[in-house]
């Protein structure tokens, strides 16, 4: 992260969600109707880079990034149906769930926890749009490298005795390995039974197909330039082990092709990502 500047990857993710709406056919994996409004001019220009004919890695992201948001929002809907009423979004970026929340889920408490630089930028953007924070949402600033989610949430009305869904999308690979382990242990400690930590995980380079090696240097250079180098990768068995060591009960992993087949009755026009998988660690 670069102090005083929003996360560039958060902007990129919102741009991919908007590109999915703009360039993919219905039914969409996720219809993030607010993604475009939350983007500034540079973010909107980024959307166009995802148009048909774009480099394959961007076309992959145009499906994967809305898919992972759909995954966590589906988990939230299911958890809500069994009585869960707290939703924590760690590293929220330009997540717009709070402004899209269905009427039926308005009894949730939503906590957007993010790096102070990204959050300050989002607050400013929301104020420019004239969008108030929904009454059931809270903004909580926290740098995970120097503080913990539990410390940040302790300053709010978050109730650790009640079960919670925690979204941790697009964050774990930007943290140092020990920070990630500490963050999981911190969450396992404060999450009540019935809670879920829902997150995406990036595979080690050597576990990815050859096509990624060809763009490795380019990706590493872009991410370091953005001040967001990726530091932390796991194979499925390693994340299950790390979550257990942190104090979670069962951890399930989900592969992207199976989820895509579940969400869409059409074969994807572009290959699906083979860089990521999704995980749900349960308390
Ligand atoms: C790739 S974006 C993901 C945003 C959002 N979860 C999504 O999927 O749209 C990464 C997010 O992690 C946050 N982040 C990265 N490093 C962080 C840190 N050390 N402390 C707090 N947040 C951090 C960034 O501010 C950004 O919002």
With a CB cutoff of 8 Å and minimum separation 6, the contacts of 192 are 160, 161, 162, 163, 164, 283
pLDDT at 5: 86
Q: Please say if the pLDDT value at position 177 is more than 90.
A: yes
73: domain CATH number is 3.40.50.150
Q: Is residue 234 part of a domain?
A: yes
User: Is the CB of residue 137 less than 8 Å from the CB of residue 89?
Assistant: no
**Ligand 1 atom 4 nearest Cα:** 93
CA 135/CA 142 separation, integer angstroms = 21
Judged by phi (left if over 0) then psi (alpha if -120 to 50, else beta), residue 257 lies in alpha
Q: Is residue 3 part of a domain?
A: no
pLDDT at 3: 83
Tokens of 159: 């109730």
* CA 228–ligand 1 middle distance (angstroms): 9
* Domain span holding position 189: 8-282
Atom of ligand 1 nearest to the CA of 6: 25
Q: Is residue 1 part of a domain?
A: no
With a CB cutoff of 8 Å and minimum separation 6, the contacts of 103 are none
pLDDT band at 1 (very low <50, low <70, confident <90, very high): confident
User: Is the CB of residue 165 less than 8 Å from the CB of residue 79?
Assistant: yes
Q: Is residue 2 part of a domain?
A: no
* CA 119–ligand 1 middle distance (angstroms): 10
- For ligand 1, residues with CB inside 6 Å are 1, 7, 9-10, 13, 91-95, 114-115, 118, 142-145, 169-171, 174
Q: Is residue 272 part of a domain?
A: yes
Please count the structural domains in the chain: 1
* CA 123–ligand 1 middle distance (angstroms): 15
pLDDT tens digits, one per residue of 7-43? 999 999 999 999 999 999 988 999 999 999 999 999 9
């Amino acid at each position: 992260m670069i102090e005083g500047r929003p996360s560039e990857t958060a902007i990129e993710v919102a741009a991919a969600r908007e590109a999915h709406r703009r360039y993919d056919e219905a039914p969409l994996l996720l219809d993030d109707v607010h993604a475009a409004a939350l983007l500034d001019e540079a973010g909107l220009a980024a959307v166009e880079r995802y148009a048909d004919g774009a480099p394959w890695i961007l076309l992959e992201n145009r499906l994967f990034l809305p898919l992972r948001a759909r995954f966590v929002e589906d988990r939230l809907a299911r958890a809500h149906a069994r009585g869960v009423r707290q939703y924590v979004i760690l590293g929220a970026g330009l997540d717009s769930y709070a402004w899209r929340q269905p009427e039926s889920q308005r009894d949730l408490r939503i906590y957007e926890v993010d790096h102070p630089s990204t959050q300050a930028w989002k607050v400013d953007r929301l104020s420019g749009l004239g969008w108030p924070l929904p009454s059931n949402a809270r903004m909580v600033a926290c740098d995970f490298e120097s503080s913990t989610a539990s410390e940040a949430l302790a300053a709010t009305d978050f109730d650790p005795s009640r079960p919670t869904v925690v979204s941790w999308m697009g964050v774990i690979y930007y943290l140092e390995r020990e920070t990630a382990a500490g963050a999981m242990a911190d969450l396992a400690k404060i999450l009540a039974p019935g809670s879920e930590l829902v997150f995406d995980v990036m595979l080690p380079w050597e576990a990815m197909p050859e096509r990624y090696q060809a763009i490795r240097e380019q990706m590493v250079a872009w991410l370091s330039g953005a001040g967001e180098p990726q530091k932390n990768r796991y194979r499925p068995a390693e994340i299950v082990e790390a979550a257990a060591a942190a104090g979670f009960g069962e951890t399930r992993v989900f592969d992207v092709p199976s989820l895509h087949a579940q969400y869409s009755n059409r074969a994807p026009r572009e290959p699906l990502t083979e860089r990521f998988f999704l995980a749900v660690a349960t308390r």
